[in-house]
Structure 1
Amino acid sequence: MFRAKTVLVIGAGASVEVGLPMGSQLLKQIVKLTNIKFEFNRQNAGDHDIVEALKLCLDEGGEVTKLNKHLAAGRQLGESAKQALSIDNVIDALEDPQIELVGKIGIVRAILKAEAASPAFKSTQGMPDTMDLSQFNDTWYGSLTKILTENVRKSQVHSLFDNLEIINFNYDRCLEHYLPISLASYYGLKPEAIREVMQGLTIHRPYGIAGRLPWQTGDAPSVGFGEGSPQLLADVAQQVRTFTERVEEGEALAAMRATIAGADRVVFLGFAFHRQNVELLAQKMQSHSELVATAYQISKSDKSVIEDELGKAFEHEFVMHDTRIQLADMTCAQFFREYWRTLTAEKGDHEPFTTPDFSHHLPNIPSFQGLDG
């Protein structure tokens, strides 16, 4: 279990280990899905469900004037994407509501397809709420289950998420889908029992989500994991946000920053440290608080800049290479293995730690340059 107040800040790189795309990969998939073309009144390119979702959003009956303009916007999205960092950058730069709608529907469609295609989440024998949990042994998901269950008995499952909050910059629902099945299997319970406990786990979503899962409370439309229909695509597209629509004021932002302010330990996973996202979290931390993060394949010079920017954003008396701020050149899975004691320590409970250099034998995984973090 987590013995200190811990905040996990999850970026695009954290989902890579379970088969979800990073920002650059997601952009390519969205371009393919939204490059919709017709020949002799028959669609011969792009995704059919996106076309139907657009029809539902535009509600123009038998007319296709608005639809054709949006399909043209989709093709411009693809042209701009050839030189873009992410889908968010395209939508933000072009300032076109038609491109924004096509892009958002494309985001949801790509995320739901990626959820369905992930080998890790494939149900066993076609049974719902099942998966081969051994698929997660070499991922940080498996390590998270081990931390949560350490010294927690079956009669204490209500305390599994004590001292934990999550800030998730991704659109996918992988973690929420995984945890009830994994923890229920460990304790010999039904997933519903863990889902009830998870209602008390705070998960902040500054960029929204590709639909709440059916078991989650709320008024927004629900979508089964890896499922979706044209109607749901049309509905859920309004639940995702871009750079300019991120949570920038009000109770949601105040709650997220209060989480940072009250944390003993903030852990960044697969986060690319985009400046607008760091600024979104900016909040004075406690003097004893620690900040640890994966910084896989980030250069030494860039890590120095990131350390300085983090110190300023969180108004912490960080000194360069202070033991309270560590950027580890590791994947998320390796980070959990190497920082196990750190992650499970009480506040101020451990000796200063240093980051080993594993770069000479890390697997060849692309840099985390996704839009989500």
Structure 2
Amino acid sequence: MQRKTTFIVGAGASAEFKFPTGRKLVSEIEQICDLRTDDFGRPISGDGLLWRAFEILPQSDGKRWNPNGLARVATKVRQNMGLAPSIDNFLDSRRGQEGWSEVGKLAIARSILDAERSSELWFDFRHTNDGPSFARFPENWLTELFRILVTRKDKEDFCIALASCRFITFNYDRVIEQFFHQSIKSYFDLSDMEVDELCRTHLSVVHVYGGLGEVSCHKSRYFGRNDDAQYLVEAASKIKTFTEGVHDSEQIALAKDWIRDCKTLIFLGFSFLPLNIRILGPNKGDRYSKGRVLGTSFGMSADNLQIARNILRHEWYGGADYDLEFHEVGAGELIWRHSMFLSEADLRN
């Protein structure tokens, strides 16, 4: 696999690793934010880690927040999640109001860290250094892609193949980074230091809206670390709402370069929200050159898919009339269906 390929990854791709999406994520945030106090302001219910995070969360001026005040905000978040399209949309509606962004990001980080901890990619580094057991993994797109990248390749050829892939993710989780660090370590029997250096050189990932922080073999304890209030605060601080993400010009510019430069563009588990498509669109007066475009459209209506096609065709590709190949399958099946195409560098589009 030497043809430059850019993957645009949405929540549906992480769902193959049992990460919550849609209403399930909203339900989890509702539970996390169910914080209640007695008549004296003492916590009597809710997520204990979130309470502790409120107690140590610093404000921009270095002062501490009032934990009870943040708990009241959390209650409002819980009460309105059923009405909001997403937690990001709700936080954006309260933009500029004190405490809302902080509470929302802590709740998001708490939910994702729990999901990381529950996924097959997590392992207890205190008891083993062998990493996760890939033998019990469910079928998923990263395993399918890894099989392509290692077919008939030694470590050096694998590195070339990996470097031909770029990953633009709208997810806060670290599934991509954790998978490649641990799978490379296991498959090639490398040390933590060797894997970290290999991934630092050849693995390219951009988180459009930020992530929870770096993971590596050396820092494997951070993936799914859901028992440390200080780490929760640090992880939440790296999350951006969609409004904030637009202003991260360096990461967005890099993502656009990867789209412009690729021969194959693949959307995986992506919901094609117009806002997210336009964030990655070409700069004014520019357009992306024609390449092969593949994508999953599992669960999408014909109307929504047509809107996505129109935006891509006219705003990304200048009205170029060519096929945008969307398939109503999951991310893993799409990679499997196109495995020979992805593995052969000499094919012409």
What is the TM-score of this pair, normalised by structure 1? 0.83
How well do the aligned residues superpose, as a CA RMSD in angstroms?
Answer: 2.5
Q: By how many angstroms is 1:253 displaced?
A: 2.0
Q: By how many angstroms is 1:119 displaced?
A: 4.0
What is the one-letter code of the residue matched to 1:294? T
What is the aligned partner in structure 1 of residue 152 from structure 2?
Answer: 151
Deviations 1:91-120 (A, max 9, x none): 011223312110101111111111111245
Deviations 1:243-302 (A, max 9, x none): 110143532222111111111111111000111110011022223x11111000112232
What is the aligned partner in structure 1 of residue 224 from structure 2?
Answer: 226
Deviations 1:201-247 (A, max 9, x none): 22111100112225589xxxx96111141111122221000011014
Q: By how many angstroms is 1:155 displaced?
A: 4.5
Give the conservation status (yes or no) of the 8 Å contact 1:123–1:132.
no
What is the aligned partner in structure 2 of residue 10 from structure 1?
Answer: 9
Give the conservation status (yes or no) of the 8 Å contact 1:24–1:85.
no
Residues in 2 aligned to 1:192 and 1:216: alpha-carbon distance in whole angstroms: 7
What is the one-letter code of the residue matched to 1:225? F
What is the aligned partner in structure 1 of residue 91 from structure 2?
Answer: 91
Give the conservation status (yes or no) of the 8 Å contact 1:35–1:75.
yes
In the superposition, relative to structure 1, how do residues 16 and 314 fare at CA in structure 2: closer, same or farther (>3 Å)? same
Q: By how many angstroms is 1:305 displaced?
A: 2.0
Residues in 1 aligned to 2:216 and 2:53: alpha-carbon distance in whole angstroms: 20
Residues in 1 aligned to 2:159 and 2:338: alpha-carbon distance in whole angstroms: 25
SS in 2 for 1:312: helix
What is the aligned partner in structure 1 of residue 69 from structure 2?
Answer: 69
What is the aligned partner in structure 2 of residue 130 from structure 1?
Answer: 131
What is the aligned partner in structure 2 of residue 264 from structure 1?
Answer: 263
What is the aligned partner in structure 1 of residue 53 from structure 2?
Answer: 53
What is the one-letter code of the residue matched to 1:70? L
Q: Identity of paired residues, percent?
A: 24
In the superposition, relative to structure 1, how do residues 127 and 53 fare at CA in structure 2: closer, same or farther (>3 Å)? same
What is the aligned partner in structure 2 of residue 340 from structure 1?
Answer: 339
After TM superposition, the structure 1 = structure 2 runs for residues 28-43 of structure 1, keeping only pairs within 5 Å, are 28-39=27-38, 42-43=42-43
Residues in 2 aligned to 1:242 and 1:249: alpha-carbon distance in whole angstroms: 11
SS in 1 for 2:275: helix
What is the one-letter code of the residue matched to 1:99? W
Give the conservation status (yes or no) of the 8 Å contact 2:288–2:316.
yes
SS in 1 for 2:145: helix
Q: By how many angstroms is 1:345 displaced?
A: 4.0
Residues in 2 aligned to 1:204 and 1:64: alpha-carbon distance in whole angstroms: 32
Residues in 1 aligned to 2:262 and 2:218: alpha-carbon distance in whole angstroms: 25
Matched, 1:24 2:23: yes
In the superposition, relative to structure 1, how do residues 157 and 123 fare at CA in structure 2: closer, same or farther (>3 Å)? farther
What is the one-letter code of the residue matched to 2:303? S
What is the one-letter code of the residue matched to 2:253? A
What is the TM-score of this pair, normalised by structure 2? 0.88
SS in 1 for 2:78: helix
Residues in 1 aligned to 2:295 and 2:98: alpha-carbon distance in whole angstroms: 36
In the superposition, relative to structure 1, how do residues 341 and 102 fare at CA in structure 2: closer, same or farther (>3 Å)? same
Give the conservation status (yes or no) of the 8 Å contact 2:289–2:317.
no
What is the one-letter code of the residue matched to 1:328? H
What is the one-letter code of the residue matched to 1:189? L
Deviations 1:64-93 (A, max 9, x none): 982222111111111111111211011011
Residues in 2 aligned to 1:264 and 1:216: alpha-carbon distance in whole angstroms: 34
In the superposition, relative to structure 1, how do residues 167 and 65 fare at CA in structure 2: closer, same or farther (>3 Å)? closer
Give the conservation status (yes or no) of the 8 Å contact 1:12–1:271.
yes
Number of residue pairs matched?
A: 338
In structure 2, stretches of 5+ residues that fail to align are none
Q: By how many angstroms is 1:151 displaced?
A: 2.5
What is the aligned partner in structure 2 of residue 356 from structure 1?
Answer: none
In the superposition, relative to structure 1, how do residues 64 and 338 fare at CA in structure 2: closer, same or farther (>3 Å)? closer
